[in-house]
């Protein structure tokens, strides 16, 4: 097996099956128009209403399927529910039975008709016939005997092999005729399995002698080509020592305070223990010294910094050098946040109508005086939050009482400090479960 090459991911479109759990992000200035919302008439959305996302009960379907989906946000009421229409922007895909569930959730049914074509579908919300919001994540439609996509789903630590999946729609008869061909014989396929009708999965391996370049896979039924994904993988020369290739830096914790220990993972493939001796890393925008490297595995090195006490608030990147050569630069790897910074909310125990519990608000360096200024409100009178108090310097707790009249669903907490509403980067939605 060649040791001078590695596999790099070419990212496919994402398919989301449920609300994605948000993560803490560094304090960066948001763009005026969020990604994916270009061309949307956001000015038509009433000022007290925010649309956040759509999610679906199914991630991949065939024509002739009906399934539930939700629009999530804040400030929804009957007037807004009646005002909006959904545009699937796809052939023979429609929506029915839209209804207001909570002030943060509108539910409906997506009807995928028999003439629907194979494609990713990104629903749009319309007001007065104009699009005001486009779902950031799609669902997939696949006709029988066709392929929607081929995705690289993972890479092993050597960088010599990975895992892929084909999103398709096959029955047992077609699967017997289905096969995959790499665009070069030195890209080998092994251990193919199926989860019919929608998934075929397998391993892909670099054979000795494969040169650097981009390669892919072709899906066929017999001699008929169904779909070609090229490039699917990039085969690259090592940039660390004889076998190591760098992919990215990832912070163990994204939000930091001055004085913290900053732990970053350098992810890649083909690393050997001696590589740590020849690498140096520096933080951009502020001198935090050179990080201390240690070997973890063939796919990971660890670098540690101590953030100086005079480091200013902001988002920071990192520059990686092998000996004297810059081999990787990455922005927005971690952030330094101010005191009394709030990241998100959490229910330590599930809640249902008629129950009481607590909600946690998580953050950094929270002070008692700051907690005294906080207010937490909801869009539903049956969901009451009271007794806000400091548990420790990273956790605020409050009592939650859920009336029996509250419908199960998602609810947004409005958190303010008396002078302004606070936007929490990890989100402030809690879920009320059925009784």
Beta bridge partners of 9: 233
Residue 335 to residues 32, 255, 281, 363, Cα–Cα distance (Å): 20, 5, 17, 13
pLDDT, tens digit (0-9, with 9 covering 90-100), for 59-103: 999 999 999 999 998 889 999 999 999 999 999 999 999 999 988
Q: Answer whether 143-236 and 245-336 agree in fold.
A: yes
16 or 293, greater pLDDT: 293
Tokens of 289: 């010294």
pLDDT of residue 5: 41
Looking at the predicted structure, is the pLDDT value of residue 2 above 80? no
* Contacts of residue 29, Cβ cutoff 8 Å, sequence gap at least 6: none
Helix (H) or strand (E) holding 83: helix 78-83
Bond preceding residue 197 cis, omega within 30 of 0: yes
Tokens of 187: 């890209």
CATH 3.30.420.40 fits 143-236, yes or no: no
pLDDT, tens digit (0-9, with 9 covering 90-100), for 366-389: 999 999 999 999 988 899 999 999
Give the three-state DSSP class for 86.
Answer: strand
**What's the whole-model pTM score?**
0.71
Looking at the predicted structure, is the pLDDT value of residue 15 above 50? no
Using DSSP bridges, classify how beta strands 255-256 and 325-336 pair: parallel, antiparallel or unpaired: parallel
Confidence band, pLDDT 50/70/90 cuts, at residue 1: very low
pLDDT of residue 432: 92
Tokens of 169: 């729609």
What topology is assigned to 42-140 in CATH?
Immunoglobulin-like (2.60.40)
Neighbours of 9 (CB within 10 A): 16
DSSP 335-369: EE--TTEEEEEE-SS-B-TT-EEEEEEEEES--HH
Integer Cα distance of 293 and 278 in angstroms? 9
Options 3.40.50.880, 2.60.40.1930, 1.10.10.60, 1.20.1420.30; CATH of 245-336: 2.60.40.1930
pLDDT, tens digit (0-9, with 9 covering 90-100), for 232-266: 888 777 888 888 888 899 999 999 999 999 999 99
- Closest by CA to 243, choosing from 302, 160, 184, is 160
Neighbours of 284 (CB within 10 A): 15
Neighbours of 419 (CB within 10 A): 7
Map tokens 């509108």 to a residue.
106
Bond preceding residue 356 cis, omega within 30 of 0: no
pLDDT, tens digit (0-9, with 9 covering 90-100), for 164-173: 999 999 999 9
Tokens of 14: 């994402």
- Are the C-beta atoms of 227 and 183 separated by less than 8 Å? no
Q: Domain-by-domain residue ranges, the chain?
A: 42-140, 143-236, 245-336, 341-432
Integer Cα distance of 317 and 305 in angstroms? 13
pLDDT of residue 6: 44
What is the separation, in whole angstroms, between the first and last Cα of the chain? 56
Give the three-state DSSP class for 372.
Answer: helix
CATH of domain 341-432: 2.60.40.10
pLDDT of residue 35: 64
pLDDT of residue 403: 95
């Amino acid at each position: 097996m060649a040791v001078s090459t590695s596999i790099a991911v070419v990212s496919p479109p994402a398919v989301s099956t449920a609300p994605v759990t948000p993560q803490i992000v560094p304090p960066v200035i948001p763009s005026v128009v969020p990604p994916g919302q270009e061309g949307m008439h956001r000015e038509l959305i009433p000022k007290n209403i925010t649309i956040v996302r759509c999610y679906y009960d199914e991630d991949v379907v065939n024509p002739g399927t009906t399934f539930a989906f939700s629009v999530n946000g804040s400030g929804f009421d009957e007037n807004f529910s009646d005002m909006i229409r959904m545009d699937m922007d796809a052939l023979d895909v429609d929506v029915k039975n839209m209804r207001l569930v909570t002030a943060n959730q509108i539910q409906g049914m997506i009807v995928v008709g028999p003439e629907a074509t194979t494609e990713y579908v990104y629903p749009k919300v319309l007001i007065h016939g104009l699009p005001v919001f486009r779902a950031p994540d799609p669902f997939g439609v696949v006709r029988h005997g066709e392929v929607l996509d081929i995705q690289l789903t993972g890479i092993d630590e050597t960088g010599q092999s990975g895992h892929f999946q084909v999103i398709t729609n096959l029955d047992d008869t077609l699967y017997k005729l289905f096969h995959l061909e790499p665009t070069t014989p030195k890209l080998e396929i092994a251990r193919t399995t199926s989860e019919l009708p929608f998934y075929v999965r397998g391993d892909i391996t670099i054979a000795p002698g494969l040169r650097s370049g981009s390669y892919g896979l072709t899906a066929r039924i017999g001699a008929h080509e169904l779909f070609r994904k090229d490039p699917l993988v990039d085969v690259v020369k090592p940039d660390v020592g004889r076998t190591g290739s760098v992919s990215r830096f990832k912070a163990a914790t994204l939000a930091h305070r001055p004085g913290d220990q900053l732990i970053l993972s350098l992810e890649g493939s083909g690393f050997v223990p001696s590589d740590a001796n020849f690498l140096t890393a520096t933080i951009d925008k502020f001198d935090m010294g050179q990080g201390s490297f240690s070997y973890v595995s063939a796919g990971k090195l660890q670098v540690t910094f101590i953030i100086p006490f005079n480091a200013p608030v902001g988002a920071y990147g990192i520059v990686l050098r092998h000996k004297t050569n810059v081999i990787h630069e990455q922005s927005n790897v971690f952030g330094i946040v101010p005191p009394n910074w709030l990241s998100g909310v959490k229910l330590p125990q599930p809640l249902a109508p008629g129950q009481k519990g607590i909600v946690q608000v998580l953050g950094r360096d929270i002070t008692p005086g700051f907690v005294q200024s906080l207010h937490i409100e909801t869009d539903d009178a049956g969901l009451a939050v009271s007794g806000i108090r400091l548990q420790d310097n990273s956790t605020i707790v409050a009592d939650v009482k859920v009336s029996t009249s509250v419908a199960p669903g998602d609810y947004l907490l409005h958190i303010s400090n008396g002078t302004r509403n606070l936007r929490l980067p990890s989100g402030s939605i809690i879920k009320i479960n059925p009784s």
